[in-house]
Amino acid sequence: QTKATTDEQKAAVVAFKTAVDAAMTTRRSAVDAAVAAFRTATDGVLGSRKAALDAALATFKNDIAAAKAAAKTACAQTGADSTAIAKTFRDAVKAAQDKLRTATKVTPEINAQIKTAQDTRKAAIKAADDAFKAAIEKARADLKAVFNK
């Protein structure tokens, strides 16, 4: 601004500063929107995953409690076969563990959804950066054009 001697050059400097500020604001808004969209997408995916895990854990606890109750009831009967009761209990616990293990596996769909959200965020940020660079180059070229007259 100190090199600007004419009114045209001073106006060009002000226009340059305004263009740079606008480009920065636009880029910041675009990046913030991309990050917010990414967080919303991942929060939704992870929230549904957490709900599924909580449900699987509750089912596991209920299955174990039912196996214990069945074993206690069987033991309370006269002439109960303890070996058969123990085997039935172990089988019920193993079945509950297998069901929990299956329910808690990370599915490829979750990874794919998060990857898609990451790619979308990355593309939006790149587009914002490219637009910012183009706006800065245009403002710089306009300023140089006024000063090189």
Query: In this model, does residue 1 exceed pLDDT 70?
Result: no
Give the pLDDT score at 10. 84
**What region, left, alpha or beta, does residue 127 occupy, with left being phi > 0 and alpha being psi -120 to 50 degrees?**
alpha
For the ranges 41-45, 108-112, 125-129, the lowest mean pLDDT is seen at 108-112
Q: Average the pLDDT over 8-24 and give the result.
A: 91
The one-letter amino acid code at 18 reads T
Q: Average the pLDDT over 102-124 and give the result.
A: 90
Q: Tell me the pTM.
A: 0.70
Q: What is the separation, in whole angstroms, between the first and last Cα of the chain?
A: 16
Handedness of CA 73, 75, 78, 83 (dihedral sign): positive
Question: In the structure, what pLDDT confidence band is assigned to residue 21 with cuts at 50, 70 and 90?
Answer: very high
Kindly report the length of the chain: 149
Secondary structure of residue 37 in the 3-state scheme: helix
Secondary structure of residue 59 in the 3-state scheme: helix
Q: Average the pLDDT over 52-64 and give the result.
A: 94
Query: In this model, does residue 146 exceed pLDDT 90?
Result: no
Percent above pLDDT 70 for the chain: 97
Q: How many other CB atoms sit within 10 Å of the CB of residue 71? A: 19
Cα–Cα dist 130/126, whole Å: 6
Residue with tokens 């039912």: 66
Q: Average the pLDDT over 111-130 and give the result.
A: 95
Give the pLDDT score at 79. 79
Query: In this model, does residue 2 exceed pLDDT 70?
Result: no
